[in-house]
Amino acid sequence: MAGVPRLPGCALCEADGGDVVWRDDALRVILPDEPDYPGFVRVVWNAHAAEMTDLSSRERERLMAAVWTAERVVRERLNPDKVNVASLGNLVAHVHWHVIPRWRDDRHFPAPIWGAPAQGRDDSTARRRDAVRSRVPGLREALARALQEAESAA
């Protein structure tokens, strides 16, 4: 990431933040390690910026295009009950988007995933999450392809 503005001590300036599925000069798309949420995708702006409105409108459009590609591929591949999309950054104030497939029987539903789990991990739910997890390699491949196609078309 030569030439990309970085902030010393920022976790997303100093490391990728997960398994990098795809990257270009502006952003990267990663699969973080979130055991309860297989298929969780993050889209991270490479340069350090704290808020979306610190980016130019063209930069925001480029970032959001990747977020919508991620949402579309997550829906096509995993067919979740809902998708949650969020840019928070209270802990790491470096623009990144969470794209989170949600299921009615996941550990927090219908609450957002960041609170205390409402449900324990019972066997049948764990099996259903394992079934999702088995589709993550296909998701990974489809994501990389879709992001590359979107870039080539732009």
Q: Given the rule CB under 8 A, which residues bind a second copy?
A: 50-53, 57, 60-61, 64, 68, 71-72, 75, 82-91, 93, 102, 109-112, 114-116
Residue corresponding to tokens 């300036």: 13
In the bound complex, what is the minimum distance in angstroms from residue 123's beta carbon to a second copy? 24
Query: What is the crossing angle of helices 57-78 and 136-153, to 10°?
Result: 140
22 vs 103, beta carbon nearer a second copy: 103
Nearest to 97 by CA among 154, 151, 146, 40: 40
2 vs 116, beta carbon nearer a second copy: 116
14 vs 54, beta carbon nearer a second copy: 54
Q: In one letter, which amino acid is 100?
A: I
In the bound complex, what is the minimum distance in angstroms from residue 15's beta carbon to a second copy? 19
Whether the CB-CB separation of 118 and 107 falls below 8 Å is answered with yes
